A and B are shown apart, each in its own frame.
Chain A
Amino acid sequence: MIQVKRRNSFYRIITLSAAFLLTLTTSLFAQDTAGDAVAGEALFKSNCGACHKLYKPMTGPALYNVVEKYDGDYEWLYKWIKNSQALIKSGDARAVQVYEENGKKVMNAFPALSNADIDNILAYTNTPQPAPPEKTIVEGEAVGGGVSNNIILGVLALVFVLLVAVLFLVNNTLKKFATAQGIEVEEPTKRTPIWKAFVQNQFLVLVTSILLLLGSAYFAYGALMSVGVEQGYAPIQPIHYSHRIHAGENAIECKYCHSSARVSKHSGIPSLNVCMNCHKSIAEVAGDGDYASVTEDYSKEFYDGEIQKLYKAVGWDPATQSYTGETQPVEWVRIHNLPDFAYFNHSQHVTVAGIECQKCHGPVEEMEVMYQYAPLTMGWCINCHRETNVKIEGNPYYEKIHEQLSEKYGVEQLTAAQMGGLECGKCHY
């Protein structure tokens, strides 16, 4: 084991140093104008990254080796980056050509960037794409650690089966020897079978039947009480959407996607255009680095595949950065279902009462797979109505009735129940 590890690190050092040498040589060639690629990276990310990537087209074209593409004409690039529209209007032939080649999309002007800044950015665009990590090495390590457990279990099972077979065979041969040599094998003396002994012992029968009855009553009660209660229901969705990554790590507001929870009865499933607000730019999950989102159970490949599913459903072609128009609906599986005879309104709870989504839906920001947190039973609703005070700040609609009712009940703060939150007709009609 130790040897294998050493060999791996040896290979890694070789590949790393090779890559390092390669970067050195390319950057040596690219040092026409002295630009600082590290400073350039920061500038690129804060200014250009909205529309450009280095190795893939985005809103604008890929920018890797852009200096070479324009024959190292720095002066032209300065003008273009600072104000491309002015350059086009001045009738510069190359500017017009670039504008038309890229679908006449207008590039923002960047008057704030100095020539030195642009040199830095251009130095960064010369960074070659880092080689993908050596697949074979990674897989070799995985085989050494993960699969071996299964192999060991398999081998154990095989040994066990062999042992049983051997014992059976040995027994048979011994019996054969015994009959051949005329030795009488002693038959075990007949005892009363265990079930007969059990039936004869009336006390034991009584106790057992009482226990069985109690046990079955317990389970029957549990089964009946779980009818219509779907707590913990976590169906497999057509696209594996991780609330942990979106709401947890990236801290996106619930209402960003479920925007109708603010204003309507339903907290809607976001339409795919809402996904594309971000996923137009985010085509891959960060597999490493400070902001990596992958876990042991879900790999980068898995998550990237799920984003591809989104692209397929919404009809987005990442290569041309445009919509194909071929869409297909995503058949999400509904988790939270209230029966038809109970009325529930999201906006009443979210906007008027200002209740956190987590109060009913649980720690969604930690859920890799969404599940139903609350039982959604009537007792659960009513309990919360009894405990929660009505939010009256900034709500003139409640002022008058709150004043009168709080006087009637002799309390400072009314609960939802005291405001009529227990009346049958509020939810059942």
Chain B
Amino acid sequence: MKNSLNFILGLVLLAVVSCDSNDRKPGFEYMPNMYESVPYDTYGEYDIFQTVTGGSEAMKPAEGSVMRGWLPYEIEDNQDGYAFAKANLTNPLPYTEENLAKGTELYNIYCGICHGNKGDGQGTLAKREKILGVPAYNDAGRAITEGSVYHVMYYGINSMGSYASQMTEEELWQVNHYVMSLKDALDKKEPRPTIDVGAVLEPNTMMMTDDLEVLEDTQSDNQGEAMQQAGEENPATNLDGNE
């Protein structure tokens, strides 16, 4: 009696132990042809890429391919290019609340970890002495400008790597605005006043189609058809005014 109970207990224990799945290996799939995609999946492994990347689907884009919205950055990655960018390049985005907010968010993800969320060079990695010599943005020897900041973010400099793979050009410029605002704060300057988005109609600013329609509607309602033509010219005049 006792022996047989032990025997059963042993069986159950064995079952429990053998059912304990091995975490190092993947489990089972039901109907794999519904699980695995027919087209090439991101990061999938395929024989056809064997000669190119050793089977991995992750590759650089074909040479000469251009991402939507991408514009070439023609200043070269060398000392002359740096000096040129520092002297001549300026931020094409308007200094709006929206751009600044987006720049702040991105800055705290990508830059603050070393440069500090206040731009004083006291980021977590700098404080923990993992990365040394991170300068504050108001460092006199570097005397950063919008152009030099963009150039360095785009190509990297010395120990700092390029951030062009993590952010788009527009995002880099948004961060750029925030970096310059941090520099102003460190220099104890008055913060630069932001531009109201509604007042500026620039091709760069993203305006929702809804807003445009609303604008046109109010114009036709209030001013009649004759005035609408003049209204359509408004963006151009505004743009000139901004420049």
CB within 8 Å of B: which residues of A?
44-52, 58-59, 104-106, 108-112, 194, 198, 204, 208, 211-212, 215-216, 219, 222-223, 226-230, 232-236, 249-253, 255-256, 259, 265-266, 268-269, 271, 273-274, 276-278, 280-282, 286, 291, 328-329, 331-332, 334, 337, 339-341, 371, 396
B82 to A: closest C-beta gap in Å: 8
Q: Which 5 residue pairs across A and B have the least CB separation, nearest first?
A: A49-B132, A50-B133, A277-B161, A49-B133, A340-B37
Contact B131 A278 (CB under 8 A): yes
Q: Given contacts A259-B167, A266-B42, is CB(A229)–CB(B27) below 8 Å?
A: yes
Task: Give the most central of B36, B37, B128: most A CB within 10 Å.
Answer: B128
Task: Identify the B interface with A (CB < 8 A).
Answer: 1, 3-4, 8, 11-12, 15, 19, 21, 23-30, 34-38, 41-43, 53-54, 56, 58, 79, 108-110, 113, 121, 124-125, 128-135, 139-142, 156, 158-163, 165-167, 208, 210
> Are B23 and A234 within 8 A (Cβ)?
yes
Interchain CB contact under 8 A, B19 and A222: yes
- Asked whether A50 and B27 contact (CB < 8 A) given A274-B166, A280-B159, A340-B34, the answer is no
Q: Which residues of A contact B132 (CB under 8 A)?
A: 44-46, 48-50, 281
Residues of A within 8 A of B12 (CB): 215
Please judge, given known A-B contacts A108-B142, A280-B159, whether A269 and B43 are in contact too, CB under 8 Å.
yes
Tell whether, in the assembled complex, residue A250 and residue B130 are in contact, meaning their CB atoms are under 8 Å apart. yes
Given contacts A256-B113, A329-B54, contact A194 B4 (CB under 8 A): yes
Separation in Å of the A77 CB from the closest CB of chain B? 16
Contacts of B23 in A (CB 8 A): 232-234, 371
CB-CB under 8 A for A46 and B35, given A51-B159, A232-B21: no
In the complex, what distance in Å separates the CA atom of A49 from the CA atom of B27? 48
Instruction: Please determine whether A250 and B110 come into contact, CB atoms closer than 8 angstroms.
Output: no
User: In the complex, which residues of chain A have a beta carbon less than 8 angstroms from the beta carbon of B158?
Assistant: 50-51, 59, 105
Let me know if A227 and B27 touch, CB within 8 A: yes
A228 contact from B19, B29, B166, Cβ within 8 A: B29
Q: B133, A46: Cβ atoms under 8 Å? A: yes
In the assembled complex, the CB of A114 is this many whole angstroms from the nearest CB of chain B, namely 13
Chain B, Cβ-Cβ closest to A351: B105
Q: Residues of B contacting A48 with CB < 8 Å?
A: 132-133
Inter-chain contact A46/B131, CB cutoff 8 Å: no
Point out the residue from A108, A208, A228, A280 that lies within 8 Å of B161, measured CB to CB: A280
B8 close to A329 (CB less than 8 A): no
- Chain A residue at smallest Cβ distance from B160: A277
Cβ A106 vs Cβ B133 within 8 A: no
Q: With a CB–CB cut-off of 8 A, which chain B residues contact A226? A: 21, 27-28
A226 to B24, CA, bound (A): 15
Residues of B near A219 (CB, < 8 A) are 15, 19
Contact B135 A50 (CB under 8 A): yes
Q: Is B125 within 8 A of A106, CB to CB?
A: no
Q: Contact partner of B29 among A227, A232, A265, CB < 8 A?
A: A227
Most A-side CB within 10 Å, residue of B109, B135, B158: B158
